[in-house]
């Protein structure tokens, strides 16, 4: 702060004002530190890319792209070894497909109910419960998938109709994955629906539409890009989820979309390598990074697409 004398004497004032650059230089350091913090996130991405690319490069010296992408068998741990990624991709696609079949209708229905039907009090009750669902650690879902869904419910039920369900199966994993992503789909879709202008609803009601018609023919189409974004984010989460599939879906690579078989996903394989004692430099260890890179690119694709859609949606209505 300036003193009174400094205000009154031009020379002193000039001196006092010259203090500012000093104070600024202190701030220069602070801003520098803040910039450094921001740089850490860029560095993280750089490191992830570097680690995946450089380690995967070692892998591709041993295994050709041709084998990786054209072979149909993934058998890195037993001889004869074989590194065809599609069995793992199929495993991931399997759980993505079945979890979406279950979660998409439920998530969309929840979003429509919360946004178009529910009284404010019901909303205030339901939303925190859904958020609680989003906070459940995935290892807990994994425990339920195998111990409750498979062993207590599905296997006894299917046994009575003569179907033999393997202990590790894609169905139980998909079911828990669906429960896991339900809040993602429901809350992002609901946000999108809530930001559809009230005008449009009034216009539709004014033309003699029922509540369901307003929701389904006006609100859902208007919020479509947001809804699609929620689904893409949910898919990215399923693709990247590890514990549920590793515990409940098994560790047998299997080129199938059947929900009643044992499979292995990309993440499931990666965890298997992480648990084992494969040595650095061996091909089976390095395959971890090749699969990791595949996983990283797939999730990135879905996430970027979702980000772009959300941005487009914002531009439409804001």
Distances (CA, A) of 74 to 77, 174, 282, 296: 9, 22, 16, 19
Question: Is residue 85 a contact partner of residue 166, using CB atoms and an 8 Å limit?
Answer: no
Q: Which string of x and - marks every residue 100-139 that binds another protein (by CB under 8 A)? A: -----xx--xx-xxx--xxxx-----x-xxxxxx-xxxxx
Q: Determine the size of the site formed for another protein (CB under 8 A).
A: 107
Q: Establish if 189 lies at the interface with another protein (CB under 8 A).
A: no
Question: Contact, 247 vs 226, CB < 8 A?
Answer: no
DSSP string, 160-178: HTT----SS-HHHHHHHHH
Asked if residue 282 binds another protein (CB under 8 A), the reply is no
Nearer to another protein among residue 162 and residue 199 (C-beta): 199
Please state the closest distance from residue 80 (CB atom) to another protein, in A.
Answer: 26
Which lies closer to another protein via its Cβ, residue 34 or residue 70?
A: 34
Q: Which of 151, 155, 194, 257 binds another protein (CB under 8 A)?
A: 151
Span 226-265, contacts to another protein by CB under 8 A: 233, 236-237, 239-243, 246-247
Closest listed residue to residue 99, CA positions, set 156, 41, 34, 177: 177
Specify the stretch interacting with another protein by CB under 8 A; choose among 73-81, 155-163, 218-226, 256-264. Answer: 218-226
Taking CB under 8 A as the criterion, the residue among 210, 258, 282, 312 binding another protein is: 210
Q: How are beta strands 82-83 and 74-75 bridged, if at all?
A: antiparallel
Token output for 62: 């041993």
Q: Which is nearer to another protein, 154 or 182 (CB)?
A: 182
Out of 70, 101, 159, 202, point to the residue binding another protein (CB under 8 A). Answer: 202
Among 18, 41, 78, 164, binds another protein (CB under 8 A): 41
According to the binding rule CB under 8 A, does residue 300 interact with another protein? Answer: yes
Considering only residues 12 to 31 of the shown chain, the ones binding another protein according to CB under 8 A are 23-24, 27, 30-31
Per the structure block, which two tokens stand in for 202? Answer: 């009034």
Considering only residues 76-105, where is the footprint of another protein by CB under 8 A? 105
Q: Which is nearer to another protein, 100 or 233 (CB)?
A: 233
Which DSSP state fits 81? Answer: P
Closest CA to 81 of 265, 271, 220, 283: 283
Residues 209 and 135: beta-carbon distance below 8 Å: no
Tell me the Cα Rg of the chain.
27
Give the whole-angstrom CA distance, residue 70 versus residue 72. 6
CB of 165 to another protein, least distance (A): 16
């Amino acid at each position: 702060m300036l003193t009174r004398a400094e205000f009154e004497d031009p020379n002193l004032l000039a001196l006092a004002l010259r203090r500012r650059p000093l104070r600024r230089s202190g701030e220069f350091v602070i801003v520098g530190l803040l910039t450094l913090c921001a740089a850490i996130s860029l560095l993280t991405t750089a490191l992830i890319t570097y680690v995946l690319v450089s380690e995967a490069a070692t892998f591709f010296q041993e295994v050709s792209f041709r084998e990786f992408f054209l072979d149909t068998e993934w058998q890195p741990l037993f001889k004869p070894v074989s590194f065809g990624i599609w069995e793992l991709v199929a495993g991931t696609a399997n759980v993505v497909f079945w979890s979406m079949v279950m979660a998409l209708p439920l998530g969309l229905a929840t979003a429509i109910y919360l946004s178009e039907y529910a009284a404010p009090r019901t909303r205030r009750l339901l939303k925190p419960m859904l958020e609680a669902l989003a906070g459940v650690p995935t290892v807990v879902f994994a425990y339920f998938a195998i111990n409750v869904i498979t062993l207590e419910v599905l296997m006894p039920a299917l046994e009575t109709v003569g179907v033999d369900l393997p202990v590790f199966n894609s169905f139980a994993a998909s079911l828990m994955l669906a429960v896991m992503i339900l809040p993602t789909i429901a809350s992002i879709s609901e946000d999108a629906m809530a930001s559809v202008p009230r005008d449009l609803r009034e216009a539709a009601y004014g033309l003699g539409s029922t509540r369901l018609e307003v929701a389904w023919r006006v609100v859902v189409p208007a919020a479509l890009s947001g809804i699609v974004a929620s689904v893409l984010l949910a898919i990215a989460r399923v693709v990247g989820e590890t514990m549920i599939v590793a515990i409940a879906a098994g560790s047998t690579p299997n080129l199938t979309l059947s929900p009643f078989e044992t499979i292995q996903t990309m993440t499931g394989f990666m965890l298997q390598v992480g648990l084992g004692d494969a040595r650095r430099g061996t091909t089976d260890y390095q395959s971890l990074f090749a699969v990791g890179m595949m996983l990283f690119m797939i999730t990135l694709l879905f996430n970027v697409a979702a980000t772009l859609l959300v941005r487009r949606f914002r531009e439409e209505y804001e």
